[in-house]
Structure 1
């Protein structure tokens, strides 16, 4: 499997899949969430590769990619992706991100708009209200403590519900416990409380309003879905809510996710 040198201390692992019918759809860049890796897309790659070139990447600090001591933040991750696309000679992609990956691809779209034809964000890690954000300092303190993986597992409990199969719960728990603790805390803090974080309102509103490309956003929470709908600029943007799903919605409903994505991309292609 390929690796790409994207900086002095960062080497990214990625897969590059081309199905037999690939080429008639735009290339896709799949970006995982906090504390996981590109295996998160194993439920989707085969179906998507039937029409697309599919790049699935392990972000810095995650999976098989390099683990720098510092800089494990969504902004640096977005810069890594910009460098990866240059390495692959891919001028433009549809960038798909789950959770923290939704932040990363949104930053990529704002800071390097020429790289992103369209965005797809899945229960993204932004738009948190003050009520939710009030608990973040305590979570960050626990991630800095001697039992970081137990703290991460407690945070992850918010990501599942009765709709989540046990195999998905177990899969994510195992990956969290394999994560370097300093990456977990650096990434979480950079998403929500550090200077420049875009995860909490109203900073989320101001930054995300700068996205000019079409956005497909799929949420589990109808309130946050309605909130994001008010920020989208391109008329082809679309917000979908799968109420009753958990934060792992695209893993719980992989075939439906692929169907919604392909239908939306098909409409963009006809424009």
Structure 2
């Protein structure tokens, strides 16, 4: 499996399967890696070129001593696509990965044909954000992995399969603690972070491409629907799912994604506006 030389100090692990333009770029969440897409790779690669990458500090990629932030990760992806001679992609990002691909879409709009975000790591309320400094302190404390495990409990419900719980717990305990702390802080509390409202609103409104966003929380789904400007954008809500909803419902995720991709560039003829959703996708905003 290949690594790409992003700089003299950074190599990114990635896989590259299938064919079809524009390719899909799969971007995992905080404390995970590209194995997160094992539930979906075969189905997606049957119709598309699919590039699945380990972000800096994660998986089989290099672990910088500093700079493990969503903005740096987005720049890494831009460089990776240059290395692969891929001019345009449809990035698919989960959680922190949704921040990363949204930054890619804003800062490199010519690179992104359309965008897919899965239970994104943005749009947090100020009330929820009040707990983040304590979490970050814990991630920098004596037992960072135990703190990360406690944070991760928010990601599951009683219906989350045990194999998903176990995989992510094991992956978190394999993560470098400084990456967990630095990336979490950069998402939510550091200067320039876009994870908490109103910073989320101001930055995400700059995405000019079509966006498909799938949420577990109806309130945050409705909030993002109000930000989307492109008429081909859709927001879907699977209320009751866990944070890793695409892992819990892999076949449904692939079906919704493929259905939306087939609509891109076509006039709907139904007068749908930004933020609308297909009823067949489940509960929606």
**TM-score interval, normalised by the smaller of the two chains:** over 0.9
Match of residue 226 from structure 1: 222
Once the two structures are TM-superposed, the CA of residue 269 in structure 1 deviates from its matched residue by 4.8
Measured against aligned partners, the alpha-carbon deviations of 1:140-166 in whole angstroms (never above 9, x if no partner) come to: 000000100000000000000012100
Confirm or deny that 1:69 pairs with 2:65. Answer: yes
TM-score, structure 1 normalization: 0.97
Any gaps of 5 or more consecutive residues in structure 2? 268-285
Task: State the distance in 2 between where 1:214 and 1:9 align.
Answer: 34
Task: State the distance in 1 between where 2:84 and 2:225 align.
Answer: 33
Compare 1-10 and 73-82 and name the one that shifted more: 1-10
Match of residue 11 from structure 2: 11
Once the two structures are TM-superposed, the CA of residue 26 in structure 1 deviates from its matched residue by 2.6
Report the 3-state secondary structure (helix = DSSP H, G, I; strand = E; otherwise coil) of the residue aligned with 1:176.
helix
Match of residue 253 from structure 1: 249
Contact 1:198 1:207 in 2 (8 A): yes
Match of residue 173 from structure 1: 169
Measured against aligned partners, the alpha-carbon deviations of 1:73-113 in whole angstroms (never above 9, x if no partner) come to: 00000000000000000000000000000000000000000
Report the 3-state secondary structure (helix = DSSP H, G, I; strand = E; otherwise coil) of the residue aligned with 1:187.
helix
2:158 aligned residue (154, 157, 162): 162
Contact 1:78 1:107 in 2 (8 A): yes
Report the 3-state secondary structure (helix = DSSP H, G, I; strand = E; otherwise coil) of the residue aligned with 2:264.
helix
Q: State how many pairs are aligned.
A: 267
Match of residue 213 from structure 1: 209
Match of residue 88 from structure 1: 84
2:27 aligned residue (31, 35, 47): 31
Task: State the distance in 2 between where 1:117 and 1:36 align.
Answer: 25
Contact 1:7 1:80 in 2 (8 A): no
Once the two structures are TM-superposed, the CA of residue 253 in structure 1 deviates from its matched residue by 0.1
Moved over 2 A (4+): none
Task: State the distance in 1 between where 2:229 and 2:9 align.
Answer: 36
Task: State the distance in 2 between where 1:269 and 1:89 align.
Answer: 24
Report the 3-state secondary structure (helix = DSSP H, G, I; strand = E; otherwise coil) of the residue aligned with 1:263.
helix
TM-score, structure 2 normalization: 0.93
Task: State the distance in 2 between where 1:96 and 1:248 align.
Answer: 13
Task: State the distance in 1 between where 2:156 and 2:42 align.
Answer: 25
- The residue correspondences of 1:84-123 to structure 2 (distance < 5 A) are 84-123=80-119
2:234 aligned residue (233, 238, 241): 238
Task: State the distance in 2 between where 1:251 and 1:76 align.
Answer: 26
Match of residue 41 from structure 1: 37
Q: Over aligned residues, Cα RMSD in angstroms?
A: 0.8
Contact 1:149 1:181 in 2 (8 A): yes
Task: State the distance in 2 between where 1:111 and 1:178 align.
Answer: 31
Once the two structures are TM-superposed, the CA of residue 123 in structure 1 deviates from its matched residue by 0.1
Task: State the distance in 1 between where 2:92 and 2:200 align.
Answer: 18
Contact 1:92 1:115 in 2 (8 A): yes
Contact 1:102 1:124 in 2 (8 A): yes
Match of residue 281 from structure 2: none
Once the two structures are TM-superposed, the CA of residue 246 in structure 1 deviates from its matched residue by 0.7
Once the two structures are TM-superposed, the CA of residue 121 in structure 1 deviates from its matched residue by 0.1
